[in-house]
Structure 1
């Protein structure tokens, strides 16, 4: 249900003023989606976010987040 809310919110973005369209239309859906994923993780329910590939991508993403400023400053 939360994924559907997020998708519907995304498609409604063109009905809102351009300055805040994505934030206004998708914030509630994304918050519900995060809560649903966290609840499924707490309950140890099967989820695509718990696969080995997703976990590895999350680890790589976090590692890059930790060093991205150093990479950007070195590139300058």
Structure 2
């Protein structure tokens, strides 16, 4: 599978959210490479666990920001 490439089309123009998204893209690519390279299951599991954890944290982070800035779409 091809790597996900971060570029300005993915930006939401909010630096801290864009940083979260970049981290998620990096973890996805790391997981992708680990699977393609046939890395050990424990290593792949650890990356997947981190990706899931960061994803959960990220959505909570977005919710906090929506509340903080009284986002109409919340």
TM bucket, shorter chain: 0.3 to 0.5
TM-score, with structure 1 as normaliser: 0.42
TM-score, with structure 2 as normaliser: 0.43
Which structure has the highest helix share of the two?
Answer: 1
